[in-house]
Amino acid sequence: MEKSKETAAQRIRSVCRYIERHYEEPLTTERLAGIAAMSRFHFARSFRAVMGVTPKEYVSGVRVRALKRGLRDGRGVDGAIYDAGYGSPSRVYERAAQRLGMTPGEYRRGGEGVEISFVSVETQLGQMTIGATDRGICFLQFGDSQEALQAQLRREYSRATIVELPEPQPPFDAWVAAVNRYLAGEAPHLELPLDIRATAFQLRVWKYLQAIPYGDLQSYGEVAEALGRPGSARAVAQACGHNRVALAIPCHRIIRGDGDLGGYRWGLERKRTLIEMERAHRAART
């Protein structure tokens, strides 16, 4: 199909495929706009409308995924960095905390050299485990048993030093108290320090979820529309599914367009309970 006959969305997706094949090369917005046969301004605006992120953010996300593959495959850190298209290791380390949640070497070694402390407590939603690095909470999940939650934490960080605290100590005691206040309807705004890994799009979805008012619900499609990516409800659902910190990123406030609850990694009964709880507490305050 000739460029002149392609829609803007088709051109953008073609550029995305090009990025995924050539991420190790210099990929400026000007170069990508030329591939799409668009002006730089029109390309940047169209790319964000179709993909939900800027061209630079998309390239960065592709390179981070390539870097992670290289690190997991056992390549040397510097080799994996250059193979992923980064000009120097320093650029990666500057963004490591945001993109990897730890340095590239630590990630390649499954969290080796990283210490994660955790506590498990009983809540009205069942067992809850909170795990945190010195940067913030990297794991906040619910389950039916402490053993299952701890096993999940150890799988996620297979070579990290995992330290169980016998009881909540500072700052864990404050975090547990904040969660309990939230579940009791006493503190609708749950603000916790997070240390999470995410793609650019996942971060946009998660930040948007944090802005949804307490007790409100939106559909996956509405979130996609709000982010400038109509038709990408499935991608929004996938971003919700990758959330590792329940409540702090309130993916329970997202449902299907037909009113069905949709999915929830911690169980639909917990999702229903959270929705009903928030609505009841909000109504009681009005």
* Residues identified as active-site: 251
Residue 156's closest CA among 83, 102, 192, 200? 102
Instruction: Locate all alpha helices (DSSP H) within the chain, ordered by sequence.
Output: 8-22, 29-35, 40-51, 55-72, 77-83, 89-99, 104-108, 146-156, 172-183, 200-211, 220-226, 233-241, 268-285
Task: Assess contact for 116 and 160: CB atoms under 8 A.
Answer: yes
Which residues make Cβ contacts (< 8 Å) with residue 146, sequence separation at least 6?
120, 127, 129
- Peptide bond connecting 230 to the previous residue in cis, omega within 30 degrees of 0: no
What span, in angstroms and rounded, lies between the C-alpha atoms of 238 and 235? 5
Task: Please identify which residue in the block is written with the tokens 């056992």.
Answer: 74
What span, in angstroms and rounded, lies between the C-alpha atoms of 35 and 59? 15
Helix pair 55-72, 8-22: axis angle to 10 deg = 30
Burial class (CB in 10 A: 0-12, 13-18, 19+), 228: middle
| Radius of gyration, CA atoms only, the chain | 21
Distance of alpha carbon 3 from the chain centroid? 34
Backbone angles phi, psi at 161, to 5 degrees: -85, 110
Buried b (16+ CB within 10 A) or exposed e, 29-65: beebbebbebeeeebbebbbebbbbebebbbbbbbbe
